Amino acid sequence: MIVVTLMGVVYSLAINNFAKLSDEGARVTLKSLKEYLGGLSREREAKLLCLDDCSECGVYVDGEKTTTLEDFLDDKVEIYRYDFAYGFTKTQPNVHFNEDDVEERVCFSYSVDKNGVGDQVLARFKDKFYDFSPYLGEVALYDSLSEANNARRELARAVSR
């Protein structure tokens, strides 16, 4: 009887762990993306790369594709970079060449290097602004571009004191 009980407990624990592993990709959001990529074991970088209409995004660790995230974003995502003179300005995504050296349209990309430092960008998606700029903190979430600009200016003032 004890053996059957132990087998049942081990079985239920194993099933729960497998469900968590298979569900891990489904839990990734823009808010948790920096933490997710930073938690991957890597020697150089971990990167999320979304091509064409952003309906499918690949997760690459040290250049090797490890997983695919479906319906993570759509082509309405916008990327901004901060300029001290102008504030956040909209930018074009990086260029990507596939294995056959053919240029592909990048919808969104974000990477974290081996030290855990990620790209310094602001992403607009579904009327929310996700600021990936904090080096050590979580992704900041804003309701408007002006709110993100004000937060960045306030940070610059605090640093310059």
Which tens digit of pLDDT belongs to each residue from 57-66? 999 999 999 9
Distance, in Å, from the CA atom of 58 to the CA atom of 44, rounded to the nearest integer, reads: 17
pLDDT confidence of residue 2: 55
Higher pLDDT, 67 or 155: 67
pLDDT confidence of residue 90: 94
| Mean pLDDT for the stretch of residues 45-70 | 93
Please write the tens of the pLDDT for every residue from 100-150. Answer: 888 888 999 999 999 989 999 999 999 999 999 887 788 999 999 999 999
pLDDT confidence of residue 81: 94
| Mean pLDDT for the stretch of residues 87-111 | 88
* DSSP sequence for the chain: -HHHHHHHHHHHHHHHHHHHHHHTGGG--HHHHHHHHHTS--SSEEEEEEETTSSEEEEEETTEEEEEEESS--TT-EEEEEETTTEEEEEPPPPEE-TTS-EE-EEEEEEEETTSPBP--EEEETTEEEE---SSSPPEEESSHHHHHHHHHHHHHHHH-
| Mean pLDDT for the stretch of residues 32-37 | 94
Distance, in Å, from the CA atom of 107 to the CA atom of 8, rounded to the nearest integer, reads: 47
